[in-house]
């Protein structure tokens, strides 16, 4: 019985040791994956004065302004004074955008319209209950 328990435990340990390296990604792969995620998120914001953004870079600097250009390799952030900073995606540590997508704007408008309609209907029923 002890032999069976030991052999099962040894088998489980060997399987775990074989599986762990398969899940470990190299640092370069992690950086590439993170840079791709940053690129897709920034591309959703679009470009122009409405695409406001705050970036924190790996060298602890902060870049704030609007996205004036977004390419496959870098983004250009222009501040309110007109100074443009070119930032490559691997340099970005965190990004915070301040604009809403068109779908979000439509959903907010519909929500406000429904709320006003319900309020008017409630007030109409409350005043004509006599």
Asked if 112 and 72 sit in the same domain, the reply is no
Number of domains forming the structure of the chain: 2
Residue 54 belongs to some domain of the structure: yes
User: pLDDT tens across 43-80, in order?
Assistant: 777 788 877 888 898 898 898 888 888 888 888 999 88
Q: How far is CA 34 from CA 64, 74, 104, in A?
A: 21, 14, 26
Asked if 70 and 41 sit in the same domain, the reply is yes
Asked if 106 and 120 sit in the same domain, the reply is yes
Asked if 121 and 63 sit in the same domain, the reply is no
Asked if 105 and 68 sit in the same domain, the reply is no
Asked if 77 and 125 sit in the same domain, the reply is no
CATH classification at residue 48: 2.30.30.100
Q: Domain limits at 59?
A: 26-99
CB-based burial label for 34 (10 Å; 0-12, 13-18, 19+):
middle
Which backbone phi and psi does 121 adopt, to 5 degrees? -60, -40
pTM (whole model) above 0.85: no
Contact 39, 72 (CB under 8 A): yes
Asked if 75 and 45 sit in the same domain, the reply is yes
Indicate the pLDDT class of residue 121, thresholds 50, 70 and 90.
very high
User: pLDDT tens across 6-51, in order?
Assistant: 788 878 777 776 665 555 567 778 888 888 888 888 777 778 887 7
């Amino acid at each position: 019985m002890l032999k069976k328990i030991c052999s099962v435990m040894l088998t489980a340990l060997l399987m775990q040791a074989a599986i762990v390296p398969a899940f470990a990604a190299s640092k370069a792969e992690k950086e590439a994956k993170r840079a791709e995620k940053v690129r897709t998120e920034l591309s959703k914001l679009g470009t122009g004065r409405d695409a406001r953004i705050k970036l924190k870079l790996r060298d602890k600097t902060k870049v704030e302004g609007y996205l004036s250009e977004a390419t496959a390799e870098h983004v250009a952030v222009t501040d309110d004074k007109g100074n443009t900073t070119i930032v490559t995606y691997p340099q970005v540590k965190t990004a915070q955008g301040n604009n809403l997508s068109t779908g979000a704007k439509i959903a907010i408008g519909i929500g406000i319209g429904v709320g006003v309609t319900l309020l008017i209907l409630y007030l109409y029923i409350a005043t004509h209950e006599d």
